[in-house]
Amino acid sequence: MKKYIIDKEYNDVNVGFFLKDVIGYSTRNLRNSDIYLNGKKVKLKKKIKFKDTLIVSELKKGTNIVPMKMDLDIIYEDNDLLILNKPPHLIVHPTKKKVDKTLANGVVHYFIESHGLSSVPRFFNRLDMDTTGIIVVTKNAFSQALLQNKDKINIEKYYLAIVDGIVPEDEFLIERPIGRVGDSLRREELSIENGGQSAKTKINVIKRFEEKNISLLKIQLFTGRTHQIRVHLSLEGFPIIGDSLYGSEDQPVERQFLHAFQLIITNLDSKEKQIFSAPLPEDMKKFLNIN
């Protein structure tokens, strides 16, 4: 439930304009919500006045995802967001072949246990099974839609990766469209004309380990294509350590060394900035021999 007290500048506009254009609700959000003005249920065409109280109550939907107790590493939580540090070897969402022991099962159990509510876990971002780090669960349709609204919210996503080889440039951009060819799980460089999607990745070298012939990279995603970082680094000749799908499984490690370590969310109206971080996992620290 969201509550708004109407400011003077919005006196005499209608409910729909205020909620869509000012607050950022989508038509779909409002279609699945009840709206109350000063305690009475109203339609979107109803006019609002200075100091009115407007309440938007989302119609709750249950879920058929099986709850399963799981130790969640919670970085942050409020009424809208649950931000987690995902461990390796964990699928985010159930599939036809795997309906339990996923992160979604654990989140549903947490919602029931902590909030008494069996609700749909909405993942704003997805991580591969063996990628660790920050993953965002939105608790309602509005917060999910707001995070996707680039006119109101700016989101920066940063990753750490350990790659094969000594990366020569300190900083560079990779802009190579990628896509899937046939039924393969792999993504490859594929022109836009042939069905590829534009993809942009920024690379910064944090440290080069000459004796091991590896590099530690900081990566910023500007687009969110499937396997984007893994594909781009492989195409540049620096596959992620442990990534058997894209060409680097020579090292004795159990997964690809890719970690979502920082997320920055900025409200473009208020300029309020929230920074969330997840520390480097122990297996990556051990591999680099750092504390």
- Quick check: 72 and 84 in contact, CB under 8 A? yes
Residues designated as active site: 128
Q: Is 171 exposed, middle or buried (0-12, 13-18, 19+ CB in 10 A)?
A: exposed
- Quick check: 207 and 166 in contact, CB under 8 A? no
